[in-house]
Each structure stands twice: as C-alpha cells, then as structure tokens.
Chains A and B, each alone.
Chain A
C-alpha cells in the first residue's frame, strides 16, 4: 500500500486496490465478530422482516412518527444532562399495558379505527425499540455514536462479551418469535449460512425443541456472529 501510494502520488483509489489485492485482506475469515449493526440488519433480512425486500430501515426510523414518542421525547428533554430513563420507562410500560388492560377488562377489546391506527403505530415503534436502535445500544454499538473518531472497535473480544452475547440471544429470541412464523429452521439455516454452517450447528439447530428456538439458535450460532 505504501509502495502504491508513492508510485501513484497518493492516488487513493489505487491504494484501496492494493489493499484489496493483498492476500491478508482475504485471509482469517471468521476471526472477527460481526458487529451489532451488521448482526441486526443481517438477522432482520434473514427473517424477511420489514418490507420483505431486504429493506429494514423502518426499524431504525419509526420513532419520529408517533405522538407517544414525541411525548416521551419531551419528558426526556425535561431532564437536562442525564436523560430521565426511569420516568420514560414507566411511561413506556404503561403504554404497553394498555392493550392488555383492555382485554383484561372483559370481553374482546373494542378499538375504533383511529385507535387501531395508533395502536399499530405504537407497536411498530416498540418493535423498532426492541429490535432496532435500542438493541444496538444494548449490544454496545449505538447508531451514529462511536466512542471516538477512530470509530468502533475491530477486535473480536470487544463484541462477544458475556453481557453482549446475552443481548444478542435476547434479540434473536424476540426477532424469531415475531418474524419467524412459518419458517423451518433447517431450511432457514441453509438459506442463511449456506456452506458456512458447520455440521455441529446443523445438528443442534435441527434438534431444537421447537421451530422458534431452532431459528433463534441459527441466529445465535458462531457462524452467524463471526465475519
């Protein structure tokens, strides 16, 4: 790369070319961890979530459209410095339970069309929080917020810690419960990992106690989480 830089008088395109031509660029596949953003996007695409054509941006930008989110945003803004997590969290929990309360109040919930829209919007937002930006934050890669100008860590050990792995498992559990209906884990694994799936992984996934757990294990596999 240094040689190319000197030879071309700093032609960046040629330098990148030299980098990509170097054998080291193609060795050690699987030595690094797939970072949370890639993990989440790859997982959503594998499950055909979102619009179904690979576009999963809706998981990352739904927040602005919901009146509840605006209200909560305002709450957060009222606490300068540290955001008031507790207060907003309670607000969220109350919102969550509204649906259940309606049902628990006896009989089928009566929802007028306007409300239905709102409920739908709120659910979309909750999904985004659970599976989109919120998940990224908990996995250690808040979107647009690298810890320094150098960007996010590259090393494996920075991404597969005990707590972050637990977050990935929780994400996989939630995402497959919501979007995995009708998928057969054996076929899902083949479509998602192809030849990269080890025999052990194929065996464990196909012996899972139910389909949702099987899908979860596919997304939790080392192969899916390495790059």
Chain B
C-alpha cells in the first residue's frame, strides 16, 4: 500500500477513459511465404450442427425436436432437398451458390462420453487422441513442418495465444480492440450460480431487468459489428505477410431457449465469414480456406427447456474460394433408432482432425507422415481422404 503514487490529476485521467477500455479478444497469426491462406475459427460451447444444417428430409427429425425443427415452409433454407440452412445464416447463401461453402456433417474429435467443454476444446485445439496428451496446439506444430516456414518476431504479447496456436513456434498475437462481449449462453450459468444465494439472485435479476444491455457493460456498436472487426483484422493481416489466422466465436452452449439463443452466434459466424471474404478481396479469397469447428455436437432430442444438451457428432463449416463447395460432405449416419450413438447422439462418421489435416496438406504441402505422426497423432489420413476433394 505504501507504494501507491497517485495524484488527483492522475486519478482523473484514469477515471476518464473507462468506457474505452477494451476486453481483449486475441486473434493469433502465423506468417510464412506462399500464396495460400488458412483460417481456423473455434466455435466454443458446442455448436448444434443439427440446428445449423437441419436434416429436414429425415422422417424422424421433427419428432425429436418438436419446437426446434424447421422446414422449408417455416423458414429453413433448402440446400439440397434433404438438408436446410438455418435462416440466421441466410447471408451465406451466395457463397453456397458459388460453391465456396460446404458443411461436413457428423464429425467429431476422438473425445467421447465425458462431455466437458474444457476437455473437449483442449482436444479440438491440441489435436491429440486423448485429453491432455498434447500440450501444444496442432496449428502451432504444423508451423514447424510447413516447408519454407518463416518465423516472425512477436508484435506484442498483451494477451496470450489460444491453445490451437500455442507452442514453441513463433506466433504473433494481435489483440483486437473489439470484444465479442458476454456470450448469450453466459446468463443461464450466472442464474444457476446464484440460485442458492437469494441476495445475489435478486441483484442479478434486477440488473438483467433494468437493462439487459447493462449486463453487457461494454461500449461499442451493435452486436455482430464486433465480430466483423475481429474478422476484418484477421483479413487485413492475411493480406500482408500472414498466412494463418485463428480466432473464436462463443455463445453456442444452448441448453435453454435455443430458438432465441442460437441466432446470435450463427449471425456472428455468418458475419465473420462474409467479412473475411470482403476484406481479403477476390484474388486472395480464391486461395483461402476457412475451417470453423466445434468441440462436440448436441443431443438429437431437444430437452425440456427448449434447448439441447452435450452430444457427440457435430458439424464443421468450410468456406473459401479454394473450396469445392455447394455440397454437404461426410457420411450421414441417419437418425433412426439403431443409428444414434447411445440412443441420443448423432453418430460421428469422421474425425474433424482429418478435415484439418486435408486442408494443411492441400494449402501448405504438409506431408502425410507429419500430419499423422506429429500434428494429429492417431488420425487416419492419406492421399485418398474424402476431404481432399472438398
């Protein structure tokens, strides 16, 4: 306490600029020569792939989800007569029609049965076969084996890298001035946290009621703009020396009231992809792959709270001019009684790591040996991989 040096003037200066104080959203980059670009987006909280790309053509789907399932008659955007896109992602349809967008259904990491977001995200980002097997991120390990990889000095380490790019290889971190704000899925956890303490529950309820925006407590434009800022920052860095960028989108943990809650993260994802394309421009976009992936999927049945719970098989999103898209990829396992995993989850038919391996192989000439031994230990990947045709 005796070390405090604080004048009135200093205090006034400090008190003034609070509104501008940023929460730091790390965007991580890696730089290397060559033309091709690769962007990973980590969808934290377990995205409901069955809500983003809905199998309306499956006879049982509507029965599993009496309040959540959509049909082309109720706003779902028909993609191929069997699957339909969530209406909040409507702005992605031009990319779908120009074959620069694809969805891979029924994919997962090797993570099974435990259903922890923390461990699931660790697996997704570390690329291992088991929890805590790999201490570094797979995208960082990939840097070491990309031919002609070139390290850059760090710009500023104000905030740390996300796990996916963490490791011994040099990665720059650029903290976006924007923030993604409190995720929509945060409120339900706060309500549960305070359920046993009436004084806190009351303060929380009043704060929410007085102004739901006060819980947001961060300045800035309407939501979505901020995600666009992060994506624009990534896009601009990729226009320069950088070839790899990674950032996250949160808000996917839709246990309660999914109809309302799911819209916002979908809009974020849509805006992120659209902004990357517009920022990069046609030439660079044509050499770019964007891979958005999540730690696991959600239950096929909706729960009693109008939401869905932690599942297994999920959905990955591929975008970019380098994609042969306009298709649903992967092998659809179906929703019949014998087809669900443990009678509750979409059965995974492919390893999400195989998609990432295929993209590293195609974009940066990483060898099959490196991919299966160093980057994704235990993954099945070879030159015949279905995702090399993606």
Contacts and interface: CB of A to CB of B under 8 A. Distances in A.
Given A61-B5, A169-B190, A174-B21, A108 B240 contact: yes
Interface in B24-63: 24-25, 31, 44-46
Given A73-B10, A181-B160, A217 B193 contact: yes
B6 A144 contact: yes
Contact of B13 (A73, A161, A200): A73
A208 B117 contact: yes
B294 to A, nearest CB: 11
Interface stretch (B80-88, B204-212, B323-331, B380-388): B204-212
Contacts of B14: 63, 69, 125, 128-129, 132-134
B214 interface: yes
Interface in B198-241: 199-200, 203-204, 206-207, 210, 214-215, 217-218, 229, 232-233, 236-237, 239-241
Interface in B59-109: none
A85 to B, nearest CB: 6
B207 A165 contact: yes
Interface in A51-99: 57, 60-61, 63-64, 69-70, 72-73, 76-77, 83, 85, 88-89, 91-93, 95-97, 99
B177 A99 contact: yes
A106 B189 contact: no
Most A C-beta atoms less than 10 A away, residue of B21, B24, B45: B21
A225 B200 contact: yes
A93 B199 CA distance: 36
A91 B20 CA distance: 9
B17 A108 contact: no
Interface stretch (A8-16, A20-28, A146-154, A182-190): A182-190
A76 B9 CA distance: 8
Interface residues of B, number: 82
Given A143-B6, A209-B185, A63 B204 contact: no
A40 interface: no
Contacts of A204: 189, 192-193
A60 B11 CA distance: 10
A42 interface: no
B196 interface: yes
A206 B116 contact: yes
Interface in B145-200: 152, 155-156, 158-162, 172, 174-179, 182-183, 185-186, 189-190, 192-197, 199-200
Given A116-B156, A119-B156, A204-B189, A210 B200 contact: no
Given A76-B16, A123-B156, 17 more contacts: A106-B239, A109-B174, A130-B21, A134-B15, A143-B6, A160-B199, A164-B203, A169-B182, A174-B24, A182-B160, A186-B118, A207-B116, A210-B118, A211-B121, A213-B189, A217-B193, A222-B200
Interface of B: 3-7, 9-25, 31, 44-46, 116-118, 121, 152, 155-156, 158-162, 172, 174-179, 182-183, 185-186, 189-190, 192-197, 199-200, 203-204, 206-207, 210, 214-215, 217-218, 229, 232-233, 236-237, 239-242, 248, 250-253
Interface of A: 57, 60-61, 63-64, 69-70, 72-73, 76-77, 83, 85, 88-89, 91-93, 95-97, 99-100, 103-109, 111, 116, 119-120, 123, 125-126, 128-130, 132-135, 137-138, 142-144, 156-157, 160-167, 169-170, 173-174, 177-178, 181-182, 184-186, 198, 200-201, 204-211, 213-214, 216-217, 220-222, 225
